[in-house]
């Protein structure tokens, strides 16, 4: 009976040892997946960081265009005041006023295009940020699976020994 118990214990130990070795490749695959996910996450974060200076430059360009528009608007107002003060020279002042008004109208479409590009850049950055946030739970789940496998493996090893 003692010999039979010994044989059964050795057999059980052999099965546990076999399961331990079967778990090792799975653990290696999970670890490889975890390691492979890190560069992708780093690249996405780098893309997010690289988009920020572009966005800042576009905002700066937008602000500069607004300042130009303000200066032109000021000139437009100054021309209107000069026109009201010199009513007898209305006909002579009108062509100059028309030129200023035309320059004002020409600036509006580029400003609208810059604003449109600004909106597109914000959307692109938001999408990148969303993808970054979406990959975090997957990474956490992989890490949790990795931890759970290590724990199970440790428990099997404790039971084994």
- The answer on pLDDT for 21 being more than 60 is yes
Question: Mean pLDDT of all residues in the chain?
Answer: 74
Structure confidence at residue 160 (pLDDT): 58
| Helices 2-85 + 90-160 axis angle, to 10 | 170
Compare 60 and 34 and report the one with higher pLDDT: 60
Structure tokens at 2: 């003692």
Structure confidence at residue 92 (pLDDT): 63
Report, as an integer, the average pLDDT of 19-48: 74
Domain boundaries along the sequence of the chain = 2-160
Structure tokens at 70: 């303000």
Question: Where are the alpha helices (H) located in the chain, listed in sequence order?
Answer: 2-85, 90-160
CA–CA distance, 125 with 94 (Å, rounded to integer): 47
pLDDT digits (tens, 9 = 90+) for 70-101: 787 788 778 777 766 766 565 665 677 677 77
Range 123-127 contact pairs with CB under 8 angstroms and sequence separation of 24 or more: 124/51, 125/48, 125/51, 125/52, 125/55
Structure confidence at residue 97 (pLDDT): 67
Cα distances (Å, whole numbers) of residue 133 to 35, 52, 119, 137: 18, 17, 21, 8
pLDDT digits (tens, 9 = 90+) for 127-161: 777 877 777 777 777 777 777 777 777 777 666 55
Cα distances (Å, whole numbers) of residue 105 to 12, 20, 40, 87, 102: 87, 76, 46, 25, 5
């Amino acid at each position: 009976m003692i010999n039979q118990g010994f044989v059964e214990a050795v057999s059980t130990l052999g099965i546990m040892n076999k399961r331990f070795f079967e778990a090792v490749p799975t653990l290696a695959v999970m670890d490889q997946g975890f390691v492979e996910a890190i560069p992708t996450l780093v690249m996405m974060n780098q893309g997010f960081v690289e988009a920020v200076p572009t966005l800042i430059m576009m905002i700066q360009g937008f602000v500069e265009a607004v300042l130009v528009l303000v200066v032109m608007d000021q000139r437009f107002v100054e021309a209107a005041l000069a026109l009201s003060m010199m009513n007898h020279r209305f006909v002579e002042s009108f062509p100059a006023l028309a030129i200023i008004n035309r320059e004002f109208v020409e600036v509006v479409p580029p400003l609208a295009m810059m604003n449109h590009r600004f909106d597109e850049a914000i959307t692109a950055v938001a999408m990148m940020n969303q993808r970054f946030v979406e990959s975090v739970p997957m990474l956490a789940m992989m890490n949790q699976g990795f931890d759970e496998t290590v724990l199970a493996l440790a428990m099997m090893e404790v039971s084994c020994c």
